[in-house]
């Protein structure tokens, strides 16, 4: 199943900078792992915001939930999820 996910990050202004950097590094490594596995298909930065649009390719809602809640920055995120399905006018034979 494909999902369009918007993630907005809101780190506390009083968070220790070293802790924030550790969280970001761990998040990046986790993101790369999911991208290599084909689960996190695309990620785009939203210009001027600490946010991204992503496309996830997972088996079901529960797998997406598990991946998102596993994000190190999850406690500091607002996340919006939109399920996607093939459009009948698409000329592509797959979802890539």
- What does the pLDDT look like over 42-83, one tens digit per residue? 999 999 999 999 999 999 999 999 999 999 999 999 999 999
pLDDT of residue 56: 98
The CA-CA-CA angle for residues 55, 58, 62, to 5°, reads 115
What's the sign of the alpha-carbon dihedral 92, 79, 15, 49? positive
**In total, how many domains does the chain have?**
1
User: Is 89 among the domain residues?
Assistant: no
- What does the pLDDT look like over 2-53, one tens digit per residue? 999 999 999 999 999 999 999 999 999 999 999 999 999 999 999 999 999 9
User: Is 36 among the domain residues?
Assistant: yes
Q: What is the CATH number of the domain that holds 34?
A: 3.30.70.1060
pLDDT of residue 30: 98
- The domain of 56 spans 2-84
Return the H-helix or E-strand segment holding 5.
strand 2-9
pLDDT of residue 95: 67
CA distances (Å), 55 to each of 9, 12, 41, 92, 93, in order? 17, 26, 5, 17, 18
């Amino acid at each position: 199943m494909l999902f369009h996910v918007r993630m907005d990050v809101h780190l506390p202004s009083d968070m220790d900078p070293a802790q924030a950097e550790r969280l970001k590094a761990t998040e990046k490594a986790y993101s790369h792992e999911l991208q290599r596995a084909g689960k996190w298909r695309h990620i785009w930065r939203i210009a001027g915001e600490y946010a991204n649009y992503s496309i996830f390719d997972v088996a079901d809602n529960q797998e997406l939930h598990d991946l998102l809640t596993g994000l190190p920055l999850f406690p500091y995120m607002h996340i919006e999820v939109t399920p996607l399905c093939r459009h009948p006018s698409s000329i592509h034979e797959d979802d890539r």
